[in-house]
């Protein structure tokens, strides 16, 4: 993975639990990476040629099913589709046949699993750790995707301070987690885009999102948290309101003109 992954475990569990979790993360990376030959690049090649892509990698298939299932929840705002021509091809234009494990599109398209992969990898690692009997752990992928198993080793929730992207010395919010995952997405004008961050494109439009925003989402699933935080970043104000469920999902809008914090 391009990101730094850190795993910390405490207490009981199999001796090789961390190795198993690491392997789980590597498997996700091997399947979804677009930086070297992988199941994902093979699928993209087929889509680019206008052919039906056969998905024979079970991890890739599982990832696509999760993304497909999350369409309504993210108001169709999380979309892994990259339009090869104009911003007209979206996930709905692809023909995804789950039982046949195929994906096809009548226009050149490609998939990019950024905005999903890190959270998904953490989910798989959490499962591996739990299966190995670990009941207390902290997992981080680049410190913008986190997951915890159980309570803090000393009891109670794990508490994290999320920095204000405009001023790393300030805390934007403190988040308490137990058996949950956290995803943080931000954008602050293209000129100041973080080195590791690609421009966010609002689905259906070709212009990159430039409004400074930061979204912090907590969910039981890292993949869901990540898809939602990505969706919140590209949502317009009404969609953002609808995405809010008032409990676990938070959006901070950092536009200088807007109120600092729309949701809390």
Partner 1 sequence: MTDKTFEFTRRTFLDRVLMASAGGVMATATPWAAIAARAESAGAGKVRLGVIGTGDRGRALIQNIAKTRNCTVAAICDNYAPHLAKARQWVAAGTAEFSDHRKMLEARGLDAVVIATPLHRHAQHTFDAMDAGLHVWCEKAMARTIADCGAMVERARTCGKVLQIGHQRMFHPTYLNAWRRVKAGEIGTVTQIRASWHRNNAWRRPVPADSDDRRINWRLYRESSAGLMTELATHQLQVGNWFLDAVPTRVIGSGSICFWKDGREVYDHVALIYEYAGGRKLIYTSLLNNARYGCEEQIQGSKGTIEPELGRIYQEVPPRSLALQRMQADVKRGHKRTIPIGGATWFPELPVTTPGESLGWGEYDETMLQFEGFGEAVRSGKPLPGLLQQAYNASVASLLGEQAMDRGEAVAWPTSLVTV
- Binding region for partner 1 (CB under 8 A): 2-4, 6, 8, 10, 35-36, 138, 140, 142-144, 146, 152-156, 158-163, 165, 168, 171-172, 174, 184-186, 188, 191-197, 214, 216
140: β partners: 6, 146
Q: Judged by CB, which is closer to partner 1: 168, or 247?
A: 168
Shortest separation between residue 54's beta carbon and partner 1, angstroms: 25
Nearer to partner 1, 108 or 163 (CB): 163
Q: Compute the distance between CA of residue 11 and CA of residue 6 in angstroms, rounded to an integer.
A: 17
Cα–Cα distance measured from residue 155 to residue 16, given in angstroms and rounded to the nearest whole number? 24
- Residue closer to partner 1, measured from CB, 178 or 192: 192
Put residue 259 in one of left, alpha, beta given phi > 0 → left and psi -120 to 50 → alpha.
beta
Query: 63 or 216: whose CB is closer to partner 1?
Result: 216
As measured in angstroms, the least distance from the Cβ of 95 to partner 1 is: 31
* Min CB(246)–partner 1 separation in Å: 22
Shortest distance (Å) from residue 108 CB to partner 1? 19
By the 8 A CB rule, do 13 and 133 touch? Answer: yes
CB of 216 to partner 1, least distance (A): 8
Q: What token pair was written down for 60?
A: 């890739």
State the nearest-atom distance from the C-beta of 88 to partner 1, in Å: 27
User: Considering beta carbons, is residue 173 or 201 the nearer one to partner 1?
Assistant: 173
Choose between 132 and 141: whose C-beta lies nearer to partner 1.
141
């Amino acid at each position: 993975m391009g990101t730094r992954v850190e795993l910390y475990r405490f207490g009981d569990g199999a001796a090789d639990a961390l190795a198993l979790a690491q392997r789980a993360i590597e498997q996700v990376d091997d399947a979804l990476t677009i930086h070297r030959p992988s199941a994902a690049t093979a699928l993209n090649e087929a889509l680019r040629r206008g052919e039906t892509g056969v998905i024979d990698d079970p991890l890739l298939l599982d990832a696509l099913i999760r993304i497909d299932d999350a369409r309504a929840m993210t108001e169709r705002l999380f979309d892994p589709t990259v339009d090869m021509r104009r911003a007209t091809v979206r996930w709905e234009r692809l023909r995804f046949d789950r039982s046949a494990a195929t994906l096809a599109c009548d226009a050149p398209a490609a998939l990019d699993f950024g905005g999903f992969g890190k959270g998904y990898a953490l989910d798989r690692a959490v499962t591996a750790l739990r299966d190995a009997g670990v009941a207390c752990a902290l997992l981080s992928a680049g410190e913008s995707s986190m997951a915890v198993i159980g309570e803090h080793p000393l009891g109670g929730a794990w508490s994290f301070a999320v920095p204000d992207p405009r001023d790393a010395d300030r805390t934007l919010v403190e988040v308490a987690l137990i058996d949950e995952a956290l995803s943080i997405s931000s954008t602050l004008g293209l000129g100041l885009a973080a080195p590791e961050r690609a421009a966010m494109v609002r689905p259906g439009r070709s212009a990159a999102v430039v409004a400074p925003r930061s979204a912090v989402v907590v969910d039981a699933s890292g993949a869901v948290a990540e898809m939602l935080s990505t969706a919140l970043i590209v949502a317009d104000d009404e969609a953002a309101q609808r995405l809010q469920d008032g409990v676990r999902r938070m959006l901070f809008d950092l536009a200088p003109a807007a109120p600092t914090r729309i949701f809390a």
